[in-house]
Amino acid sequence: MSKTGLDLSACQLADAIRDGELRAADVCGTFLEHIREQDPKLQAFVTVLEDDAMRQAESVDRDHSHAGAALLRGVPIALKDNLCTRGVPTTCSSKILEGFVPPYDATVVARLRGVTPFLGKTNLDEFAMGSSTENSALFETRNPHDPGCVPGGSSGGSAAAVASGMAPLALGSDTGGSIRQPAAFCGVVGLKPTYGRVSRYGLIAFASSLDQIGPFARTAEDAALLLDAIAGPDPRDATCLATAAPSCRAALSKPFEKLRVGLPREYFQEGLSAPVAQALAATRQSLQDLGCSMVDVSLPHTDYAVPTYYILAPAEASSNLARYDGVQYGLRAPAGNLIEQYLNTRSAGFGREVKRRIMLGTYALSSGYYDAYYLKALKVRRLIHDDFSKAFAQADVLLTPTTPTAAFRFGEKVSDPLQMYLSDIFTISANLAGLPALSFPCGMDGHLPIGAQLIGPALSEARLLRIVHEYQKDTNWHLRRPQSILRSPQKRKRTPGEAG
């Protein structure tokens, strides 16, 4: 397989492997070679699974009994390192999970095992808490379009891996924008499905009522292919929908509907950079050229989304992260008694941002403050959900910016948590309402990508992907490749158990 194979879409790779035009082992080997060349510069991967990936790929080439049954067969994939992967260190990019090797697969990983070679596990903000991947306890991942800029977060490693061509597909998780924001910063497609569409079993929890797993890809068609592979009922996740998920890829071939596209006025106000505003105006025109009509709508409680999220998400994190006590797994700090063990382990194992959110959440849940903060935030969450319901009575989907600006530079916001939190201002509401939302490339601010976001009613993933699929037929923003990558490799230490 030539180097040009790196430019093939996941769907093209899958078709070529199925038809015998390419061997899965050759495809996998080419991506692993590209990882060896580029990852020392970008640091997207926590663990590279060279030997395992090649074994999986060779197994695909040998076993033709299921040829054609799995549409993704043989296409390599990268996995965010908060997805439990059997026999592979799973770190959540945190010191507190040092030495943790899961004995089981997350449901999404199990559904892909034996079908797609796993290239490796990708870097993230510690426990998925962050918007820049600067909060990783291991190292910073760099934006392939400008190594001086962040790739976004928390799924920065997965976004950078796809944007740089080190992986044709990747999985991430999205609690308040952690798929869509890095997708926008890195110039790829990122989808947060409806809450419950994809099983969360085996996803290391941050905020259980908000977390959702979804795909990164170069095109809407590729994202549909991966979503079809991971979505569907799972009895091990009580919040997973019991109804079978329809094929999103099959929906892409249906006649295009002329839809009503809502423009929430609260998303197009001050704080939006001029290049982002211009890119969204051009996207709006492109959708009108496809036959869509534009409708002005309002989401009046938008201003309350960020404070609501930063009460609810830390509250859930406070409960979820209480299990890391140095007793059952992960880091165990030296101590003279049990209380000291808790204190020493958590002090040494958790980073600053994780500690900040645990303290915020514990405070919001504490006696005397529960009603004033947590209970009130739940009520506002309902109001935000109702805003979307009213908007979807007027429009079929909503078009918004994904982020207020293009990617920012390292260190620009890390010392100002509020400014960092506000970078997710356009993505958080969809998580609070449990709605599907999709970010896709729609322009450039100089050499940095800009992303637009589509939000739809519950279970409308196929519609969102269909719109972007049509949009990508007439535009080439998704074809732009990074031009600015570090020329001299930066050495870093890999994690134990890593091959290559």
Residue-wise pLDDT tens digits, 269-279: 888 999 999 99
pLDDT value at 64 more than 60:
yes
pLDDT value for 395:
98
The contacts of residue 195 (CB under 8 Å, 6+ apart) are 209, 210, 212, 239, 431, 434, 435
Question: How confident is the model over 286-298, as a mean pLDDT?
Answer: 97
Tokens 């030296």 belong to 334
Higher pLDDT, 490 or 230: 230
Question: How confident is the model over 371-375, as a mean pLDDT?
Answer: 95
Question: How confident is the model over 219-240, as a mean pLDDT?
Answer: 97
For residue 341, being part of any structural domain is answered with no
Residue 135 and residue 137: Cα distance in Å, rounded?
6
Question: How confident is the model over 18-43, as a mean pLDDT?
Answer: 96
The contacts of residue 420 (CB under 8 Å, 6+ apart) are 130, 131, 132, 413, 414
pLDDT band at 65 (very low <50, low <70, confident <90, very high): low
DSSP structure string for 239-301: TS-SSPPPPHHHHTTSPPP--EEEEEGGGSSTT--HHHHHHHHHHHHHHHHTT-EEEEE--TT
Number of domains in the chain: 1
pLDDT value for 66:
58
Q: Which of 156, 164, 159 lies closest to 410 in space, CA to CA?
A: 156
The contacts of residue 348 (CB under 8 Å, 6+ apart) are 95, 96, 331, 333
Q: Is-catalytic flag, 80?
A: yes
Q: Map residue 174 onto helix, strand or coil.
A: strand
The active-site residue out of 80, 121, 192, 413 is: 80
pLDDT value for 423:
84
For residue 438, being part of any structural domain is answered with yes
The answer to whether 123 and 46 have CB atoms below 8 angstroms apart is yes
For residue 439, is it left (φ>0), alpha (ψ between -120 and 50) or beta?
beta
pLDDT value for 1:
42
The active-site residue out of 94, 173, 178, 423 is: 178
The active-site residue out of 154, 164, 429, 460 is: 154
pLDDT value at 385 more than 80:
yes
pLDDT value for 416:
84
The contacts of residue 144 (CB under 8 Å, 6+ apart) are 38, 42, 151, 160, 163, 164, 186, 482, 485
Share of the chain above pLDDT 90, in %: 88
4-8, 14-18, 181-185, 488-492, range with the lowest pLDDT: 488-492
AA identity, residue 363: Y
pLDDT value at 494 more than 60:
no
For residue 349, being part of any structural domain is answered with no
pLDDT value for 328:
85
Q: Map residue 190 onto helix, strand or coil.
A: strand
For residue 98, being part of any structural domain is answered with yes
pLDDT value at 205 more than 50:
yes
pLDDT value at 295 more than 80:
yes
- Structural domain that includes position 40: 3-299+389-479
In this structure, the strands spanning 212-217 and 189-192 are antiparallel
For residue 351, being part of any structural domain is answered with no
pLDDT tens figures, 407-456: 999 999 988 887 888 889 999 999 999 999 999 999 999 999 999 999 99
Q: Which of 153, 249, 237 lies closest to 195 in space, CA to CA?
A: 237
Question: How confident is the model over 134-149, as a mean pLDDT?
Answer: 97
For residue 383, being part of any structural domain is answered with no
Residue 35 and residue 498: Cα distance in Å, rounded?
13
pLDDT value at 487 more than 60:
no
Q: Which of 232, 236, 235 lies closest to 244 in space, CA to CA?
A: 232
Q: Is-catalytic flag, 65?
A: no
pLDDT tens figures, 69-117: 578 999 999 999 999 999 999 999 999 999 999 999 999 999 999 999 9
Question: How confident is the model over 193-198, as a mean pLDDT?
Answer: 98
For residue 120, being part of any structural domain is answered with yes
Residue 493 and residue 425: Cα distance in Å, rounded?
34
Which secondary structure element, helix H or strand E, spans residue 313, and what is its range?
A: helix 305-320
pLDDT value at 484 more than 60:
no
Q: What is the CATH number of the domain that holds 8?
A: 3.90.1300.10
Q: Map residue 183 onto helix, strand or coil.
A: helix
pLDDT band at 500 (very low <50, low <70, confident <90, very high): very low
Q: Which of 145, 149, 165, 217 lies closest to 7 in space, CA to CA?
A: 165
For residue 106, being part of any structural domain is answered with yes
44-53, 324-333, 398-407, 433-442, range with the lowest pLDDT: 324-333
Q: Is-catalytic flag, 192?
A: no
pLDDT value at 461 more than 90:
yes
Mean pLDDT estimate for the chain: 93
pLDDT value at 457 more than 60:
yes
In this structure, the strands spanning 45-48 and 118-122 are antiparallel
